[in-house]
Amino acid sequence: MTHFLDIHKTAPGDLRAMIDTAQSMKNARDGKPRGAPDSEQPLAGHMVALIFEKPSTRTRVSFDVGVRQMGGQTMVLSGNDMQLGHGETIQDTARVLSRYVDLIMIRTFEEVTLLELAEAATVPVINGLTNRSHPCQIMADILTFEEHRGPIAGKKVVWSGDGNNVCASFLHAAGQFGFDFTFTGPQTLDPEPDFVGFAREKGAKIAIERDPFKAVEGADLVVTDTWLSMHDSMSAQERRHNQLRPYQVNEALMEAAGPDALFMHCLPAHREEEATSAVMDGPQSVIFDEAENRLHAQKAVMRWCLGV
């Protein structure tokens, strides 16, 4: 079964093929209305289940639109719509859904939910996000970088802030795509050692630098993400703000990175917290290209999973 569960679980050649397919599909849509179908209809006759245990804007809309543009149909389900979470096991849910649909995307909390779903399903499963990783986002980020700066191999990516699930998938990608990665943030929020270890074992140069201004020297790309989880208590939010305030991506930090460095944020953002509006709306920012490219990257992922 061709699941897309994590970047480090997918062969580098397949990842590269998906990026190339995404770019080709995006180019083919040039000038078309947003709602127009793709010239090719590779998902015609296919039904895709989109499961959301976590709220979503970009993931929901980009997957839904992507399926429709490629001629397929979607069934959007929340945790409240299903018996999942009301006593039915994830394994039974997987077996039942596999009788109805051709592909399942799930955006959930615990990684074990994704893994158990994939193990029991008889159709491909895509990781739309878990608490540990966010591979679809990073595929869009790589597509975006390469549109603006060419191949990402050998480039320097700097992550400033919390070593969260998006950071984890960037580390996986460093190993698979061959770029260098520097994390700058407080020690209490370092990325998991397993993620760092994977990238290093694959030959990527991985650094942890507490001084953000040193970290961004020579950067080709500076990335950050929200400091807060929607489930954090007020006291936890204040602690995170205190720890992460020195790692805000602002004009001074981007100046230290240099004029050719791009800025990314996967959104949604808390403006003036993890990044200033001056940076987000500035000339080095590609955040809205990045958001659009979720659509194109995920279309390529779905095609790869289905072999169409």
Q: Which entry of 46, 132, 134, 240 is annotated as an active-site residue?
A: 134
**Main-chain phi, psi angles of 271, to 5 degrees:** -60, 140
Is position 134 annotated as part of the catalytic site? yes
Is position 136 annotated as part of the catalytic site? no
Is position 137 annotated as part of the catalytic site? yes
> Could you say which DSSP state residue 219 is in?
-
Q: Which entry of 266, 284, 303, 305 is annotated as an active-site residue?
A: 266
Angle at 147 between CA 143 and CA 149, to 5 degrees: 110
**In angstroms, rounded to a whole number, what is the distance separating the alpha carbons of residues 228 and 162?**
9
Tell me the one-letter amino acid at 147. Answer: E
Q: Which entry of 69, 137, 176, 284 is annotated as an active-site residue?
A: 137
**Main-chain phi, psi angles of 209, to 5 degrees:** -130, 120
Q: Which entry of 58, 225, 248, 265 is annotated as an active-site residue?
A: 225
Neighbours of 92 (CB within 10 A): 13
Q: Which entry of 8, 58, 60, 107 is annotated as an active-site residue?
A: 107
Is position 248 annotated as part of the catalytic site? no
Closest CA to 237 of 228, 225, 245: 228
Q: Which entry of 132, 172, 294, 296 is annotated as an active-site residue?
A: 294
Is position 270 annotated as part of the catalytic site? no
Q: Do 213 and 256 form a contact (C-beta atoms < 8 A)?
A: yes
Tell me the one-letter amino acid at 65. Answer: V
**In angstroms, rounded to a whole number, what is the distance separating the alpha carbons of residues 190 and 33?**
43
Is position 68 annotated as part of the catalytic site? no
Give Cα separations from 100 to 93, 103, 271 (angstroms).
11, 9, 42
Which positions are annotated as active-site residues?
Answer: 107, 134, 137, 225, 266, 294
